[in-house]
Each structure stands twice: as structure tokens, then as C-alpha cells.
Amino acid sequence: MALFSDLTGATVRDCIIENENNRIIFLVDPSEVRKAIGPRGFIVQKLKDLLNKNIEIIGYSSNLEEQVKYALMPARVNSVKLVNRPDGSKVLYVAVDPKDKAIAIGKGGRNVQRAKLILKRHFDIDSVVIV
């Protein structure tokens, strides 16, 4: 996180290392996402080369609906519904624009998996379902 902050000047809220998809997800203030990416993705590429991992930069919000939108961007989120199951688990149903469903899910489920990691860590959501 210190390396990222030093390179970008952006405030890092969290850093999630996901070995399964060989990526590091940085959560930053939404107003600093562009600064963190750098001109033409220069900083992201530099970090990717240094760390030998894919780098993803996502806006951070303490508001559940906003965080879902940031985590699934560029897919357009229409609505978010949280369901508390009798077993105590929390399931989040996310309705996206039908044209954006594939984007929200991502290749091999990568994007929805990223959203699930972020939402589990910050909102204790057990499952994310794209509808």
C-alpha cells in the first residue's frame, strides 16, 4: 500500500491481494481513481511490471449501493437488494442493465468475484447475485 501511495499520491483505503486471479485490488477515494491510474494507465502498468500481478483500482465508499456501483463499473447498476437469510447469511441481488450483464459478471466471473471480495470484506456480504 505504501508503494502504491508513493507512486500515485492517492489515498489507499484498502488493498486486497487475490492470488487465484493473480491480481491486487486497490480501493481508493473515488475522486482519486484517475490520479491512481495515471495518464494512459502509466502507473497501473508500472505497478503491474514491478509486482508481476494484475492491478485493479476501484473507488471506495462506505455506502453499500455506491460501493456496488464502483465494484461493478462500467456496468450500469439499476438496483441493489440485500436479503438476510434465516441461516444468517447475507445475499446481495444486483440488477444491472441487461446489456451490461456480461460486463458485470466478467470473463470467468472475475468481475462479480471482485465485487464479492470487496463486499465481504467491507459489508459482510456472503454472496452476490447478478440479475
Q: Average model confidence (pLDDT) for the chain?
A: 94
Regarding pTM above 0.75, the answer is yes
Q: Would you state the pLDDT for residue 5?
A: 85
CATH second-level architecture of 64-130? 2-Layer Sandwich (3.30)
**From the candidate CATH numbers 3.30.300.20, 3.40.50.2300, 1.10.10.10, 3.90.550.10, the one assigned to the domain spanning 2-59:** 3.30.300.20
Average pLDDT of span 97-123: 95
Q: What is the pLDDT of residue 2?
A: 83
Return the CA Rg of the chain. Answer: 15
Domain ranges (residues) in the chain = 2-59, 64-130
> Which one, of 27, 5, 38, 42, lies nearest residue 73 by Cα?
27
- Confidence tier at 8 by pLDDT (50, 70, 90): confident
Which are the contacts of 33, defined by CB distance < 8 A and separation ≥ 6?
Answer: 10, 57, 58, 59
Instruction: Give me the pLDDT at residue 4, please.
Output: 87
